[in-house]
Chain A
Amino acid sequence: MTERAWRNWYLVPYGIWLVLFVIAPIVFLLYESFLDIDGHWTVANYEKVLTPIYLKMMAYSFWYAFLITLVSLLIGYPTAYWLTKTRHKQLWLLLLILPMWVNLLLKVYAFLGLFGTYGLANALLQTLGVGPRQLLFTDFSFVFVSVYIFIPFMVLPIFNALEELPPSLIDAARDLGASAWTTFRRVVFPLTLGGVKAGCQAVFIPALSLFMITRLVAGNRVITLGTAIEQHFLVTQDWGMGATIAVVLMAAMAVIVVLTGTGRKEGSR
């Protein structure tokens, strides 16, 4: 057997994984989405998705995902930029990555404690004379906790893009008369757009299907597609409807990935 043929054999474990846990579930989802609650063939689920209730939910999901991505970017880009300038790069990077190793649920529970009526945040607000306030179950806390969870996914690709940027390009821009801000606007930012795109994808797409943070931190105030899917599968047992929303969500994500490109091509030389 030739070497190439052997190499193909190495793909077998991954191939099995792909079929069992990626392709099969998607096929099942598609299949389920065409069944009503009694198991009959129907397209009613898709008609229902287009009703105002679900459209509003979809709008909400997109709005919050957009908000989370935007805030992550606004905090993440300066952070990444500062990271490339700092002396102890590896240490700071580690501190940034460290929370990613902690279980997601654990972090969310920690925030329940912090943001609770008798939590640290309210104690602080009280000493400042503005509290106590209702922090949990608000849009603010939902976005805040989500940004906290997602920010490393935004910072890392941008950090990498900034690190790859040859420093001589910045010197060149300055040399040609550009101020620090113009240099950023016309050279640094356009050349790190690949990282920004990658970071936005890494935040926006998972943010679209959030349900745990939504449920725990936002309570029932914020209902997104993620929570709707969970409700249909676990509470109302309307798998068909749940599957339909999931299919629509996946289609939306696919469209986003295609539209924003892979982010790598543009920056490569």
Chain B
Amino acid sequence: MNGEEIIRFERVTKEYDGMVVLDDVSFAMERGKFYTLLGPSGCGKTTILRLIAGFIEPTQGTIYFHGKPIHHVPPNKRQVNTVFQDYALFPHLDVFENVAFGLRIKKMKEADIRQKVSEALRFVNLEGYERRRIQEMSGGQRQRVAIARAIVNEPEVLLLDEPLSALDLKLRTEMQYELRELQRRLGITFIFVTHDQEEALAMSDYIFVLNKGKIQQFGTPKEIYDEPINRFVADFIGESNILSGRMIEDFLVEFTGKRFECVDRGFAPNEPVDVVIRPEDLELVAPGDGQIVIRVDSLLFRGVHYEICGYDENGNEWLVHSTKKAEVGETVGLRFEPEAIHVMRVEREDEGA
């Protein structure tokens, strides 16, 4: 880590009534980056956000803000603001007063409040909406008000708790661009919580993939996508073909009863491994030219590509994304480069599952 550290978790555990929701988690985040906490519901991602905001306290471990523990700092004294999942806008106040809420508490001068609020509203493209009631605003507009209300306080860290989940697909994609752009302009740290892997890949500088209260993998979107560390991450980040196999030696892996050249090394001889091949890395060829031969079982037209699902002679399911069309029942060959094969260690946890 080369930037200035802003938040650090050291062996943080959080339990609710004996249920461990966050299990001995340690990580650090630096200033001015866009982080995403990605995982299925109940993985502990929102818990991390609430711990940073100060709504809850860790059962064990320490959270540092600028190198100082912040356990006993109440949420209203933290240099952190939150955009809530349900926006949590105050229904009894209009747009202006919602945005001005934090400034009024700081007892700022009326003229300064006016200036800052209109600045924040301009930032989120809501000029002229000052006197609107919250009830009159659409979902996307409420979202913007919530963002304006948070950023007007000039926090060092902005926490976003699945803020796009209530929006329809088109608006969501639009807001993804806007949020990323906003983060660049403000230059502050964003911590974004989502269960949508596409959202995470599109927006983040770094992604934390979480499952069952543990960080599974940390990395850039490309690292996470190309080099998933285990079956869970590979499965959660995008669609993929995951096969059990065996590492014969460096650069040689065996799966579906065949040996393939690969680019991975550093495994014990004959170590059992999981192999990931992304559906878009598979090329559709004549059966004779294929490294794997499958029988097409189903075909879906997805717009940019066909999603082809089929089975090889060992009964493994294969998912292929191809611009070429295949017929159901047809036998086709699949080709892939050694780089397309990604070998992962089998997690001890996953063996039982």
Contact = CB atoms under 8 A, between A and B. Distances in A.
B101 A174 contact: no
B90 A174 contact: no
Contacts, number: 61
A253 B276 CA distance: 76
A269 to B, nearest CB: 6
B90 A172 contact: yes
Given A178-B105, A269-B135, A168 B76 contact: no
B88 A179 contact: no
Contacts of B54: 174
Nearest to A175: B82
Interface in B75-128: 75-77, 80-82, 84-86, 88-92, 101-102, 105-106
Contact of A176 (B55, B74, B105, B135): B105
B105 A172 contact: no
B53 interface: yes
A145 interface: no
Nearest to A170: B88
A124 B101 CA distance: 50
A168 B50 CA distance: 11
A174 B74 contact: yes
Contacts of A173: 90, 101
Contacts of A186: 101
Interface string A179-193: 100100011001100
A52 interface: no
B88 A166 contact: yes
Contacts of A269: 91, 135
B120 to A, nearest CB: 13
A174 B78 CA distance: 10
A169 interface: yes
A173 B84 CA distance: 11
Given A177-B153, A178-B76, A171 B84 contact: yes
Contacts of B81: 175-176
Given A168-B84, A168-B86, A174 B92 contact: no
Contacts of A176: 76, 81, 101-102, 105, 149-150, 153
Nearest to B101: A176
B252 to A, nearest CB: 54
Nearest to A165: B91
Given A174-B75, A176-B149, A166 B86 contact: yes
Q: How large is the interface on B (under 10, 10 to 19, 20 to 34, 35 or more residues)?
A: 20 to 34
B88 A177 contact: no
A175 B91 contact: no
A177 B106 contact: yes
B55 A177 contact: no
Given A177-B76, A177-B105, A172 B84 contact: yes
Interface in B293-327: none
Nearest to B102: A176
Contacts of B77: 177
B92 A190 contact: yes
Interface string A139-181: 0000000000000000000000000001011011111111100
Interface in A178-218: 178-179, 182, 186-187, 190-191
Contacts of A169: 88, 90
Given A182-B105, A269-B135, A175 B90 contact: no
A44 B114 CA distance: 61
Residue in B80, B81, B92, B106 with the greatest tally of chain A CB atoms within 10 Å: B92
A103 B135 CA distance: 44
Residue in A171, A176, A186, A269 with the greatest tally of chain B CB atoms within 10 Å: A176
A178 B76 CA distance: 6
Interface in A231-269: 269
A179 B106 CA distance: 11
B88 A172 contact: yes
Residue in A169, A172, A187, A191 with the greatest tally of chain B CB atoms within 10 Å: A172
A53 to B, nearest CB: 45
Nearest to A266: B92
B218 to A, nearest CB: 26
Nearest to A179: B76
B338 to A, nearest CB: 50
Contacts of A177: 76-77, 102, 105-106, 153
A249 B55 CA distance: 50
A120 B307 CA distance: 83
What 5 pairs across the A-B complex have the smallest Cβ distances?
A: A176-B102, A172-B88, A168-B88, A174-B75, A177-B105
Given A176-B101, A176-B149, 16 more contacts: A171-B84, A171-B88, A173-B90, A174-B55, A175-B53, A175-B75, A176-B81, A176-B150, A177-B76, A177-B77, A177-B105, A177-B106, A178-B101, A178-B105, A187-B90, A191-B92
Interface of A: 166, 168-169, 171-179, 182, 186-187, 190-191, 269
7 contacts: A171-B82, A171-B88, A172-B89, A172-B90, A176-B101, A177-B76, A269-B135
